[in-house]
Structure formats: structure tokens, C-alpha cells
Amino acid sequence: MNATLEKLKHKFEQALVAAFGADYAGVDPILVPASNPKFGDYQSNIALSINKQLGQSPRTTAEQLVKHLNVSDLCEPPAVAGPGFINLILKTSYLEAQIKAAQADPRIGVATAKNPKRTIVDYPSPNIAKEMHVGHLRPAVIGDSIARILEFLGHEVLRISHVGDWGTPFGMLIVHLQQAYPEALRTTETLDLGDLSTFYRQAKKRFDEDENFREAARLAVVKLQAGDEETLLAWKIVCALSSRAYQVIYDLLGIAPFIERGESFYNLLLPGVVQALEAAGLLVEDQGAKCVFLEGFTNKEGNPLPLIIQKSDGGYNYATTDLAAIRYRLQVDKAQRVIYPVGAEQTNHFTQIFQVGRRAGWITDDVEFIHAPFGLVLGEDSKKLKTRTGETVRLRDLLDEAIARARDDLEARLQEEGRQETEEFKAAVAQAVGISAVKYTDLSQNRTSNYTFSFDKMLNLQGNTAPYLMYAYVRIQGISRKGQINFAQLGADAKILLTEETELALAKHLLQLSEVLGYVEADLLPNRLCQYLFELSQKFNQFYDQCPVLSAAEPIRTSRLVLCDLTAKTLKLGLSLLGISVIERM
């Protein structure tokens, strides 16, 4: 099924050729959803952009175009307004037919991509020699949502976690493991270090306080890179323990499974990067280091900035590994689109490696490499979120607190409503609401900005929050329970009748999901989907306040039940694309 916007675009393209000749084939009709419902549903500004070359006023241009515009199956007769805007109002009969078709469609009217692309989403990609903290939230949540949306649209998605599992920070963990848990190295059984965070802290403390320990850690890194077997074994154990601890949190967050392909994976491919850059004529020796001089980046003196590929001691950098990953993703994975949802502080890094990849001839014009940057999570003091004692916030603590607060809110509400619920119910609702609230609040911000973390705001039942959206869904399930309606059986013979203002507004909004997902596919901003779902909930609530459903007479009753059902399906699908599951009661 086609999105309405696409159908209209096509009609405009035909009209442009019919009115002004073949030169106008393929011209973008500049058609957008109307900013104000007063002007209709869609508006085209094309006449104001081509009138000069036609040598006439925009208004005449618009009028000529409208004469050739054959949209009578979708719209009321088009109106030319102001200097030459073309306004379109969708016909009620068209909307009714679309609603009916969407309800019968398992994809509720969302078409799959015309050009599916083999896509890699590089996430959550944490550095695992650290405890999981609040900074690990955004890549996981944003990457997961982008991957889900692209996959739903029919792209072949590979989720690859570029784990930081190599290099200096591992020295201290390796030595601490060897010294404090020597038995771990002699058994094949998985070691239980209890709380991994204690292990991290102990290692860090010794590193900070003990000169000998620091030296041992430094040596361990050298041994690791030289491939020393004992050291490699200790390193593998540390990585496995970290991965497992991280996975517990990803499970709690409901992050879909991904492939772990860390920095260490590319070790053997690093010399090949140097060779290939050499062969491409990009490599320059500078004070013993092998570099590529960057275009558009200069140092303080105004000279071109070098990107170090191999250090004078033979070691490699983060950038070298990423260049190896670029080649691997192109040559082996055959990726056509590679997306890196990574913090904005790495913008230069990505600009630089993409530039080198292009200049080396690896990244050609038919593939896309995109850094999708995001901002920081701030505390109420507008600084990076910290605990009261000034430490970084552990992600586990943050999620536990969200669940505990959701539980308090629920208990208060149950008391107010005089409801009795089982412990099982309360625990399940608190967990679903708490986790969803944290994820949704992160996704609902424009990802490029910083945002302020506030439990009170995110758990509020009013406003652009997960609980508000989840509650709209619950409300609809309540209608089906109360009226003993089986939505799945609302049938093929249902007649859709849109008569009231709020019904029309809801129906129009329901039919825009496809367009919204199309925008997210292009700009990778899941907050657009959040905004859409928020407005959907609002429009549903307005409809439900104005229009009786269960007490309405047929055929209106069934028609309204279809609107309820389609709203629930849309909320459920939309939230699932954000990585959030709905619940039936709350």
C-alpha cells in the first residue's frame, strides 16, 4: 500500500509534465503536510519555485498546474491560495477506504522500502573495561530503535557492537585477575566474581595507588599485543565476564540481540590498512609515525593535521581499527549503508575516518557512511549526570530507581482508585513502566541535543511520556474488555464512517505512520516517531472524550471500534519500533 503523500507526489509529477512539458519531468513538487489544518492536509509550494523560469506569476503557474492535476480520487478540488500555494484536502471517502484497508493489513498500511539496503548499525559498542554507566544508555537505546525501524521497513540490518575490548585499560584488569583470582586461569568453569563492579574498583584502586601494579599493568598490555598466551587467556576471561555483565543490563532494557565484533577482531587486519593507504599514496611518514594528512583539519599553527595510522613504536590507534572495520564492512559484509549512533564528541573522529576511507577509494558514492551523533544526559544542574557524591551514575542503579519510583506511583494510584492487584501484577507493571520511561525519554529528545534526566517528568502520566502512551493503549484494551469486543473479529464487512471533527483528525493522523517512518529512515531521528505517537494518543483521547463508542448505534459503533483498534495497533507497533512493549492493564 502506498502512503498518501507518495501518491500525491506522483500525481503532481504527472501534472507538471502535462502543464509545462517534459523539461519538468522528475521535478520535486515540494509537497508537505500542511502546517495548519486550516489550510488543508497537504500543501505544495512548487509554483513559487518554478514561476520565474516559466516567466509568469506564481499564481498563474499554480492555476495552470491545478488544471492538470488529477487528484479527484483522493482530494476535494484543489485550491490555490495566497501568492500561489496549492492546498489539498483529503476526501472523507478516501480516508474511510484507507482506514479500512489499513485495519485489514498486517503492516497497518506501511509499505516496505523500494530499495532495501544492506545496512549495518554499529551499536551499542561500549568500552568494556569499565563499569556500565549512564553514558552507555543512549547508544544502546537509540541504536536499537534505528535498527528496529530500518528492519521493519524491509532493510537487511546487521547489528554490530564495536566493543572496546583492546588496549591499555585492560592491563590493569588482567593483572588484577592474575593476582587476585589465579584459580580463574586454571579452570574452564566460568568464574563468579560476584559483583563485577567491585572487581573494577579494586583494580582501579590498586592502579592509582601502587607503582608496581601500574608497571605490571603496562607490561601486560605489551604482552597482550605480542600475543602472549597466558595474558591472552586472562584478557579473554575479563572480556567474557564484562560481556556477560553488560548483557544482563541489555536484557533488562530489552535491547535486541546483536553481534559482538570488538576492536580485537580487527587486529590482524591492521597492517593491511597501512599497506592499502600506502598503495593509495596517502601515507606520509612524520616523526617516525605513519600518518594521513587530513583535508580541512589544521593544527594551531594552521598546518594540515595528521591522522596517525601507526605510531612510531609500531602501535595502532582507535582510528586505524575503525578504518579496518570500514574495509571489512564493505568487502566482507557488503554493506550499502553503515550507521554509527555514537556520541557527538566523536564527530571529528568519524569525519576523519570517513574522509580517509573516501580518499583511499574504499567508500564510493554508492555507499553511505553516517555518524548519527547524540548529546549528553545531564543532571538537574545542567551538568553531566552524576551521583550526589559526584560519581558517574551506574546504569543499573538508574534503572532500579526508575522501577522503584514507577512502583511507588502505581501503589499510590491503586490506593486512590481502591484497586487490589497481585504482587506479580505490580512487579510486572513497575518494571515495564520504569524501563519504558527511561528509554522513551531518551528517544523522544532530538538525539543531537543534550537532555536533562528527570524521573518526575518521565514517569508523569501526562505529557510526552511512555506512561501516557502506554495508558492510551491500556484505555483501548479497557474498551474491548468492557464491551466484550474481540478486535480481531471486527470484520471485513465493517463500514467506516467519519463524521465528527475528532474522528477525522484521528483517522488522518493514523494514516500518516508510513510518512513518519519514511522521515526516520532518512534522518535517523526516532524522536519524530515519538512525537507522532504522542500526538496520536492525544488525538485518540480527544476522539474518545467527544465520541461515544460502545453506546453508539450501528453502523457508527463498529466504525468507531475500528478506529480504536487501529489506534491500539499503531501504538503497539510504533512503541515496539522504539523497543518498548505495551501492557494490557496498568
Instruction: Using CB under 6 A, list all residues that contact ligand ARG.
Output: 122, 125-127, 162, 164, 322, 325, 340, 342
Minimum gap (Å) between residue 458 Cβ and ligand ARG: 24
Torsion region of 112: left, alpha or beta (phi above 0 gives left; psi -120 to 50 gives alpha): beta
User: Which CB atom, from 1 or from 294, has the smaller least distance to ligand ARG?
Assistant: 294
Spatial separation of the C-alpha atoms in residues 179 and 443, rounded to whole Å:
43
Minimum gap (Å) between residue 240 Cβ and ligand ARG: 18
User: Which CB atom, from 263 or from 503, has the smaller least distance to ligand ARG?
Assistant: 263
User: Which CB atom, from 204 or from 572, has the smaller least distance to ligand ARG?
Assistant: 204
Spatial separation of the C-alpha atoms in residues 192 and 546, rounded to whole Å:
59
User: Which CB atom, from 322 or from 409, has the smaller least distance to ligand ARG?
Assistant: 322
Residue positions counted in the chain: 586
Contact 458, 438 (CB under 8 A): yes
Minimum gap (Å) between residue 325 Cβ and ligand ARG: 6
User: Which CB atom, from 161 or from 558, has the smaller least distance to ligand ARG?
Assistant: 161
Minimum gap (Å) between residue 237 Cβ and ligand ARG: 20
Give every CB contact of residue 441 below 8 A, 6+ residues apart in sequence: 451, 453, 454, 457, 458, 465, 466
Secondary element (H or E) of residue 262: none
The cell for 451 is 537532555
Minimum gap (Å) between residue 318 Cβ and ligand ARG: 7
* Order of strands across the sheet that contains 259-260: 259-260, 156-161, 118-122, 337-340, 368-371
User: Which CB atom, from 162 or from 290, has the smaller least distance to ligand ARG?
Assistant: 162
Interior angle at CA 561, CA 38 and CA 549, nearest 5: 80
| Other beta carbons within 10 Å of 297 | 14
Minimum gap (Å) between residue 239 Cβ and ligand ARG: 13
Spatial separation of the C-alpha atoms in residues 511 and 41, rounded to whole Å:
12
Spatial separation of the C-alpha atoms in residues 141 and 138, rounded to whole Å:
5
User: Which CB atom, from 9 or from 133, has the smaller least distance to ligand ARG?
Assistant: 133
Minimum gap (Å) between residue 370 Cβ and ligand ARG: 12
Q: Which DSSP letter does residue 143 get?
A: H
Minimum gap (Å) between residue 125 Cβ and ligand ARG: 4
Write out the E strands in 418-536.
451-452
User: Which CB atom, from 162 or from 569, has the smaller least distance to ligand ARG?
Assistant: 162
Interior angle at CA 74, CA 73 and CA 75, nearest 5: 110
Tell me the helices (H) and strands (E) count for the chain, helix number first.
20, 14
User: Which CB atom, from 148 or from 162, has the smaller least distance to ligand ARG?
Assistant: 162
